């Protein structure tokens, strides 16, 4: 959905910076580009450009203005997770997720639902005791129907199962896998499809960007699920990258092989962290990575969009989890080189 009409003009300082960066050429292009956000540029390629958003940011007006101006897809970073949505067994709480759905509606944005089945951020009632397979299967079914049913018609896609594999391509030993075996993945996809037949259903994971044991495991599973007629629509490549580990050069080929199975792909949680302090060199390298990963998605027909895991360093999860690392996003208190690199890739 083009958002040109609803977007407010970018500040004059930004326009000047775009010209300085060689992004806009000639007065007509300058005048035109000044009005376009990342989503508008992505839309020209038939793609979306999204951001995660979470609690504290929801009352930050300058933040919300940029979120509305630049993005056409949002993902609740936490509000639709199990701990938030079913804090007590059978007692559902949609307020955090609903707030983001309402915000998205006001901004003419779509929503990626995140996430139904995960081993993390589960409520205590679920993790503090043992369940038989039939009990846990019933719990999973009820939760999936309740949540997907509540948001039926309101979310574009669901990360149905999140982070199901280990780095070596074996199944992650989660409460779901331990108790239900690998069939929980197909079950959850089938239930989600019944609850909202129009939502696009995804498997989603990190360290999936390069071809290797983990992405090979997803490739085999996706092929298998498709062969069995399980309703899987896409695979989400989270894209939590770190400069010190090198750029995943096989990303484009990897995206392509999944799309050749008849699936959509998307970069769903992108950030590019670095060891602090953030020097000009590191920020320039980060910008190149943002450009390259966006170009990789644009080069693959069924890579449908890119989402950054929040758009500003102010709200990034990175410093809290990786001490001494940070600066992973295209904005801090101003626009970073990564922002201009994104425009360059999309323009
Ligand atoms: O951004 C989320 C952060 O606020 C939470 O504290 C964290 C808990 O694990 O989850 C973050 O989001 C994760 C996402 O749900 C799944 N992929 C990894 C993301 C970063 O940890």
C-beta of residue 3 within 8 angstroms of C-beta of residue 38:
no
CA distance 265 to 243: 23
- Is any ligand 1 atom within 6 A of the Cβ of residue 134? no
Instruction: Give the rounded distance of the alpha carbon of 180 from its chain centre.
Output: 27
Q: Which residues are catalytically annotated?
A: 163, 269
- Give the atom of ligand 1 at the shortest distance from the alpha carbon of 114: 15
Q: How far is the CA of 17 from the centre of ligand 1 (A)?
A: 33
- Is any ligand 1 atom within 6 A of the Cβ of residue 238? yes
C-beta of residue 253 within 8 angstroms of C-beta of residue 222:
no
C-beta of residue 231 within 8 angstroms of C-beta of residue 189:
yes
Q: How far is the CA of 121 from the centre of ligand 1 (A)?
A: 9
Ligand 1 atom 21, closest CA: 317
Number of residues assigned to the chain:
347
Q: Is the pTM of this model over 0.85?
A: yes
Q: Which domains can be identified in the chain, with CATH numbers?
A: 1-71+235-347 (3.20.20.80), 73-205 (3.20.20.80)
- Is any ligand 1 atom within 6 A of the Cβ of residue 56? no
Looking at residue 20, its pLDDT comes to 38
CA dist 42 to 46, 111, 303, 304, 319, Å?
7, 16, 12, 10, 29
Looking at residue 33, its pLDDT comes to 54
Looking at residue 35, its pLDDT comes to 76
CA dist 188 to 137, 259, 266, 295, 332, Å?
9, 22, 20, 32, 38
Looking at residue 34, its pLDDT comes to 58
- Is any ligand 1 atom within 6 A of the Cβ of residue 78? yes
Q: Is 26 left (phi over 0), alpha (psi -120 to 50) or beta?
A: left
Ligand 1 atom 20, closest CA: 317
Q: Is 71 left (phi over 0), alpha (psi -120 to 50) or beta?
A: beta
Ligand 1 atom 8, closest CA: 121
Per residue in 168-187, is it b (16+ CB within 10 Å) or e — as a string?
A: ebebeebbbbebbeeebbbb
Q: How would you write the pLDDT of the chain (347 residues) with one tens digit per residue?
A: 344 433 333 333 344 344 334 344 444 444 455 579 999 999 999 999 999 999 899 999 999 999 999 999 999 999 999 999 999 999 999 999 999 999 999 999 999 999 999 999 999 999 999 999 999 999 999 999 999 999 999 999 999 999 999 999 999 999 999 999 999 999 999 999 999 999 999 999 999 999 999 999 999 999 999 999 999 999 999 999 999 999 999 999 999 999 999 999 999 999 999 999 999 999 999 999 999 999 999 999 999 999 999 999 999 999 999 999 999 999 999 999 999 999 999 99
CA distance 51 to 161: 20
Pick from 156, 154, 261: nearest CA to 200? 156
Q: β-pairing, 110-117 with 157-162?
A: parallel
CA distance 164 to 117: 9
């Amino acid at each position: 959905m083009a958002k040109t009409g609803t977007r407010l003009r970018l500040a004059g300082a930004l326009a000047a910076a775009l010209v300085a960066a060689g992004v806009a050429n000639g007065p007509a292009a300058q005048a035109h580009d000044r009005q376009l956000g990342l989503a508008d540029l992505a839309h020209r390629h038939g793609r979306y450009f999204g951001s995660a958003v979470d609690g504290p940011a929801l009352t930050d007006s300058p933040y919300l203005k940029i979120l509305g101006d630049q993005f056409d897809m949002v993902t609740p970073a936490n509000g639709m997770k199990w701990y938030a949505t079913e804090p007590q067994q059978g007692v559902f709480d949609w307020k955090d997720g609903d707030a983001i759905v309402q915000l998205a509606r006001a901004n003419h944005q779509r929503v990626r639902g995140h996430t139904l089945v995960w081993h993390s951020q589960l409520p205590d009632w679920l993790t503090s005791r043992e369940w038989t397979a039939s009990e846990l299967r019933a719990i999973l079914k009820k939760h999936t129907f309740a949540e997907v049913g509540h948001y039926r018609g309101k979310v574009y896609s669901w990360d149905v199962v999140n982070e199901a594999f280990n780095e070596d391509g074996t199944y992650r030993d989660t409460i779901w896998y331990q108790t239900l075996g690998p069939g929980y993945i197909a079950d959850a996809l089938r239930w989600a499809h019944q609850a909202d037949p129009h939502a696009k259903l995804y498997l989603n994971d990190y360290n999936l960007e390069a071809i290797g044991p983990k992405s090979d495991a997803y490739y085999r599973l996706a092929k298998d699920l498709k062969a069995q007629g399980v309703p899987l629509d896409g695979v989400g490549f989270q894209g939590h990258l770190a400069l010190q580990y090198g750029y995943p050069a096989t990303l484009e080929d990897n995206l392509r092989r999944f799309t050749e199975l008849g699936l959509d792909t998307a970069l769903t949680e992108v950030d590019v962290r670095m060891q602090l302090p953030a020097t000009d060199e590191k920020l320039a390298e980060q910008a190149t990575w943002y450009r390259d990963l966006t170009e990789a998605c644009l080069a693959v027909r069924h890579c449908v969009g890119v989402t950054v895991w929040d758009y500003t360093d102010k709200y990034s999860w990175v410093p809290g989890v990786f001490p001494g690392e940070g600066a992973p996003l295209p904005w801090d208190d101003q626009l970073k080189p990564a922002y201009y690199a994104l425009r360059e890739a999309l323009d």
